[in-house]
Every structure is written in C-alpha cells, then in structure tokens.
Structure 1
Amino acid sequence: MRTIPADLQSKLDSGVTTLCRCWIVTRGDGVVQGFTDHDEDVAVGAVTCSAGTGLTGSEATQKLGLASDSSEISGALAADTLNEDDLAAGRYDAAGVELWLVDWSEPSLRVLLAKGVLGEIKRDGPVFTAELRGLSDRLTQETGRLFTTTCSADLGDGRCKVDLTLPAYRGSGVVAAVTAVSSFTATGLDAYADGWFTAGKLTFTAGANAGLSVEVKMHRKSAAVAFSLWQAMPQPIAAGDAFVVTAGCDKAFATCHDRFANIINFRGFPHIPGNDFVMSYPVQGAPGNDGSSLN
C-alpha cells in the first residue's frame, strides 16, 4: 500500500496543490539522471530533476493481480541530459525508472507512484518516446532451461568458467583500415588462428565508441586480419581505434572439447536425439532393427 506523508495529504485535501512529476532514471552503467515536468529544477533527495526537457508522461495504467503495468514518457533530446548518441549506444536499455509525485514548493513532500524499467525507445528527430514497464513485466518473460544439443551457457560466465582474461582467449588490436560500416582490418592479432574470434565480443577501448561492445560476426586471417561486426556502431569506426576482443564459441560439444578443453562444464546435451531420429522409421533389412543398443 502506498503511504502518503501527512503534510502532503493535507495539501491534497485542501484542493490547492503545487504538484509535479519527477522521473529518476538509473542506467546500467550507474549513471543517475532526473527529469521533471515542472518549469524549474526540482531536487528529489540527492538527485536534481532537470526541467526544460519538455518531458511529459502519459496516463499510467495499473492493473489488479500480476498483469504488467505500462505507461510512456516523452521529451526532447538534449546534449547535456539525454542525447541521441547515448540512446543509440544502448545506455538506456532496461534502465531503472522511479516516478515520483512531488510538491515542488516543498520537495521533501513526495510519494513514489511507480517503479519499473525502460522498454522500447523511439526517436523522431529531436523527440523521444520511451515505454515504462512495471516490475510485474518480468513475470511475462519466458524463463527456464532448454534441453538442446548445444551449450546453454555463455562463454566465460559462471557456468562456463572459461577464464577469458587469459592471453589465449583475449587479444588487443588497433583498427588499421575501415572497409565498410561494420567491417575493418586490424593489427596486433596475427598470433590468433583464422576464425578464433568469430562469435566473440569486441569492446572498443579508444575512439568515438570507447566502452561499447558488439558481437563479432566474422574473423578472418588471410593477407590481413579482418573483422565484421553484427551491427553498426553508434559512431563511425575510424583507423587508430583500439579494442580488445575475446574468443568466440559456437556452443558445440566439439568446440568445447577441442578449443577450450572444458567439457566438464558443458551445459548442453550432445547425445540427445535430433529431429532426424524422431522422424525415422524401421527399414526392412537395415542394421539396428534387432532391438539392440544404438551405441
């Protein structure tokens, strides 16, 4: 149940209020920002909620039971608060959001109206619209383990346990030349075999995209070491940009055995029957129809 401070309740009962809404956004990288629909900045605790962004919120719908609540916020992109580059870089993906109802004449009088995460974000020129999903939205997401022939762990995570800080699985390079929007040649990685970094993670450590990561689509070693990325970076890649890249894994049993010697932590079921086995039928005279073991 929502608790309203007594002094705030008195103002609400009087019929004359000085209320505004404030949004506090906490990004995945730890950056905390505040916004308000008031015409002056409002301090909510240690966070200053900025005015002048044109931020406004839609009607919030709250439902009984475990149904997911949702609403929207929209405003203007600004270089010093919420900008297009940060949106394109994914820094606001799944960011935490708190919506407060605040008495702007006495900001200590406030009540938390909603809490959730940012969902889909749309941009139209200098304007953005962001979906605000309630905490119950997590209950609508499918979870659980799939029984497949391939591994369900991610390379280097707590279940896989491969140490990606080892030099054998981690390399540093520098962009030599850009060949396409998301393709380039690199120096500093001649010691690694062809395809070693395919499906790995590449993180830029210098340049306009410093701090951003992307999955490697293809790593080739021929006349030069070449990389192709699965998606274009928010800012153009340039010669001289430094990066680190970790080995890739196609999650196959053979790869886990041959490349990483890590089958003790393999999280798949390589011997599970596939669709070809399920759809098969006995053929007269064919071997294996005597009821004996298939192995």
Structure 2
Amino acid sequence: MSRVWFSGALETVATFWRVARRDGVALGFTTHDADLWFDGLVHRAMPGMLPSAIRRSADLEPDSAEVEGALSHESISQADLAAGRFDGARVAIGVVDWQTLERHVLYRGAIGQVEEQDGKFSAELVSRKAELQRDPIPRTSPTCRAEFCGPGCGLSAARFTIEARVSAADLFANTVTIDGSIATDTLQSGYLRWIDGPLTGLTVEIAAVAGNQLTLAMPLDQAIPAGSRVFLREGCDRTVATCASRFANAENFRGEPFLPGNDLIARYPSPSA
C-alpha cells in the first residue's frame, strides 16, 4: 500500500533532488540537515535548496518546476554552471522520509536555462512530457539523419575513437595541438572529449583540422596543461558516398540522396544547340 504523504500532524519528510549530468557525474541533495544515502547515491544536506514550484497535470501538457537556492555547496560552482556542465542534465525531484528512507519522485525532467544572480541560481526544468511534442516522423534529406555511431547508424563508436594527448592549447585561436602521429584528417566534424584537466568530462565538436591542430567549436576559457588526455572520435559528413566508400555502411544510410529537391520546380527546358 502506497503511503499518503503529509497526512499526519507531524511528518519526518524532506525534499530531495538528483542531477545526472551529461558528463557522467551524478549529484544528490536534500533539504534535511544531514546527508541521506538511498538509490545508490549520497544526497548531501543542502537546506537552502528547495523546489519553489512544481505543477503536475494529468494531460499531455508538459509539467513545470523550478529550483532555487544559494551556491553554497562545493558540488555546484559558478564555473561549472558557466561551462554548461549542468545544461541538459536529467533531474528527479521528490520527497523522502529521513527516518525510514521511504521516498516518492514527484517530478522528472531536464535542466534547461540556468541563471545566476547575486550569488543565487535558478534553473528552468523541462518536463519529460515535452518529448511528446517532438515530431517523430523524419523529414526527407539528401544527407544522413542518423547520428554517427548512434541509433540507426549501426557502427560502433569504439572503432572510431582513440585516446591522445594535447601537447599545446591556444586559448585565443581556440585550438589544441595533438601529440604524436594520428590520422587527423578523419576528425573533421568529429568530437573531442576531455579526460584530464579542468574540462574533464566535457565534449566539444571539432570544427576544423589543420595537421595536428584542431579548432574546437566551443571557446576554451581555461588553461589546458600540456599532456592532458582526450578521446578523439572521427567525424562523418553524412553523405552517401562517404558512408559507402569509407565506412561500407550504405545499407544503414538514413537519407534520400537521389530524391529530387525543390530546385526541380524551377527547372525549364532549353532548346538544343
């Protein structure tokens, strides 16, 4: 039998919320005055953190929630918020009995926009119901719609990912130089994931390649120590020619390269010479 929360005059109930960041870091917090361990995660005491409003509906309209609090815990820093480490993180908010650890999740969603002002932050939470508003029907396109090494592609990311070291980084040019001899020409439109250094866990797209020098799509705002390790994953230009010749994967191509486009409407016959 499920518990009826707040049915008594005095309840041993606290609020908890969990954050699962895209870089693999999981954080747990509670409004209780002591740390709580449940669901395989320590929920740190953070009495200043509270959900200011949670709205749930029985229809398909997205639920809404907001979380506000002071930046008082070392797990949440202004630098991480500014670097986007919490953008798109999955969030669960609920109530927990701090004596029996019986718990119930009230809200599930993801972090949208994060704002910081006067030492406090507010996070806009996007309900999982928002996924129902996404059109699941794919549109025709001459290039592949599948993510490289993702669902629909069929290729293993491990085959096209290598570990390397950064020998130098230029913050002004937004470039990093890779140590050693690797086939950098295949990294165009690929991804770099930091293993060491101040940006550990973050993934950034490779915008351009010139020899062993990689230009990143996101600006470097922190000094990168020489020798920092990274994962480099190859890129794909999503054309059927590349899919067939380079990856031998044309059977999984998710596009219509030979379908006439809108320019067919503007064509007109011309007299023969």
CA RMSD of aligned residues (A): 3.1
Aligned letter for 1:260? Answer: F
Aligned letter for 2:170? Answer: T
Please give the alpha-carbon distance, in whole angstroms, between the structure 2 residues aligned to 1:88 and 1:245: 24
> How do 1:67-216 residues align onto structure 2 when only pairs under 5 Å count?
67-78=61-72, 80-102=74-96, 106=99, 108=101, 111-124=104-117, 126-166=119-159, 169-181=160-172, 182-189=174-181, 191-192=182-183, 195-216=185-206
CA deviation string 1:196-220 (max 9, x = no partner) = 2110111223222233221100011
Q: Which residue of 1 aligns with 2:260?
A: 273
User: 1:63, CA displacement in angstroms?
Assistant: 3.3
Moved more, 179-188 or 266-275: 179-188
Where does the alignment leave 5 or more consecutive residues of structure 1 unmatched? 288-295
- Rate the CA distance shift 1:108–1:5 in 2: closer, same or farther, 3 A: farther
Is 2:53 the partner of 1:63?
no
- Rate the CA distance shift 1:240–1:120 in 2: closer, same or farther, 3 A: same
Moved more, 49-58 or 250-259: 49-58
Larger radius of gyration: 1
Aligned letter for 2:266? Answer: M
Contact 1:119 1:131 in 2 (8 A): yes
Please give the alpha-carbon distance, in whole angstroms, between the structure 2 residues aligned to 1:113 and 1:170: 39
Please give the alpha-carbon distance, in whole angstroms, between the structure 2 residues aligned to 1:236 and 1:209: 10
- Rate the CA distance shift 1:153–1:100 in 2: closer, same or farther, 3 A: closer
- Rate the CA distance shift 1:229–1:136 in 2: closer, same or farther, 3 A: same
Q: Which residue of 2 aligns with 1:290?
A: none
Q: Secondary structure at the match of 1:136?
A: helix
Moved more, 147-156 or 46-55: 46-55
Identical counterparts, % of pairs: 29
TM-score (norm 2): 0.82
CA deviation string 1:80-102 (max 9, x = no partner) = 33223443454433333333345
User: 1:20, CA displacement in angstroms?
Assistant: 4.3
Contact 1:5 1:109 in 2 (8 A): no
Please give the alpha-carbon distance, in whole angstroms, between the structure 1 residues aligned to 2:201 and 2:117: 26
Where does the alignment leave 5 or more consecutive residues of structure 2 unmatched? none
Alignment coverage as a number of residue pairs: 270
Contact 1:176 1:239 in 2 (8 A): yes
Contact 1:92 1:118 in 2 (8 A): yes
Q: Secondary structure at the match of 2:130?
A: helix
User: 1:121, CA displacement in angstroms?
Assistant: 1.9
Q: Secondary structure at the match of 2:36?
A: strand
Please give the alpha-carbon distance, in whole angstroms, between the structure 1 residues aligned to 2:85 and 2:176: 24
Q: Which one of the candidate residues 200, 217, 239 is aligned to 1:230?
A: 217
Please give the alpha-carbon distance, in whole angstroms, between the structure 2 residues aligned to 1:76 and 1:42: 18
Please give the alpha-carbon distance, in whole angstroms, between the structure 2 residues aligned to 1:133 and 1:163: 31
Q: Secondary structure at the match of 1:165?
A: helix
Aligned letter for 2:106? Answer: L
